[in-house]
């Protein structure tokens, strides 16, 4: 079996501008990866693909690590840990952040959730949510079918 573990924010949270962001502390990450390596065969992408194609039969379940958004902490803090453990991961970068030098909406949302208490965040979100009466007919029909 192939297990895929996805990470996003892995950082020294208390020392960041947004310590309440939903993330994982570096020490917890390193401990978790060590535990995963004891349980699973840590697979690079090529091995995971070979397994999925039926060309590789592991002795233990496989585990593939992925890292979303290409955050600088992944390069600065995560890759040295993985290198020391001889484990590979897949790192995906949001190119707009790099090419256009913008903060993408998903990160803006994470920063807002970390900066506001939940009730304040929820109120601001619901206030901006369009009124159901303003939805196109197709969206209203879909919402009724889902409910």
Question: Considering the entire predicted model, what is its pTM?
Answer: 0.77
Residue 134's pLDDT is what?
58
Shared domain for 66 and 132, answered yes or no, is: no
pLDDT at 37 over 60: yes
Q: Is residue 30 part of a domain?
A: yes
Shared domain for 25 and 96, answered yes or no, is: yes
Residue 57's pLDDT is what?
95
Q: What percent of the chain has pLDDT over 90?
A: 48
Name, in order, each residue with C-beta under 8 angstroms of 1's C-beta and a sequence gap of 6 or more.
61, 62
Shared domain for 82 and 146, answered yes or no, is: no
Shared domain for 97 and 143, answered yes or no, is: no
Shared domain for 142 and 78, answered yes or no, is: no
Shared domain for 33 and 98, answered yes or no, is: yes
User: Cβ of 142: how many Cβ atoms within 10 Å?
Assistant: 12
For the chain, the residue count is 147
Domain hosting 122: range is 116-147
Q: What percent of the chain has pLDDT over 70?
A: 88
Q: Is residue 28 part of a domain?
A: yes
Dist CA 35 CA 31 (whole Å): 6
Shared domain for 60 and 83, answered yes or no, is: yes
Give the chain's mean pLDDT.
86
Dist CA 46 CA 54 (whole Å): 12
67-117 pLDDT per residue, tens: 998 788 889 999 999 999 999 999 998 887 778 888 888 888 888 888 888
Question: What is the mean pLDDT of the segment spanning 26-30?
Answer: 95
């Amino acid at each position: 079996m192939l297990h895929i573990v996805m990470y996003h924010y892995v950082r020294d949270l208390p020392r960041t501008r947004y310590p309440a962001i939903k993330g994982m502390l570096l020490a917890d990450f390193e401990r978790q990866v060590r535990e995963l390596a004891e349980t699973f065969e840590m697979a690079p992408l090529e091995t995971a693909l070979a397994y999925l194609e039926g060309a590789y039969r592991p002795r233990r379940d496989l585990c593939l690590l992925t890292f979303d958004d290409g955050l600088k902490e992944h390069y600065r803090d995560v890759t040295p840990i993985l290198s020391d453990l001889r484990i590979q991961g897949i790192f995906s970068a949001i190119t707009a952040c790099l090419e256009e030098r913008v903060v993408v909406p998903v990160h803006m949302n994470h920063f807002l959730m970390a900066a506001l208490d939940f009730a304040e965040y929820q109120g601001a979100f619901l206030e901006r949510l369009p009124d159901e009466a303003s939805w196109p007919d197709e969206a209203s029909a879909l919402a009724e079918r889902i409910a």
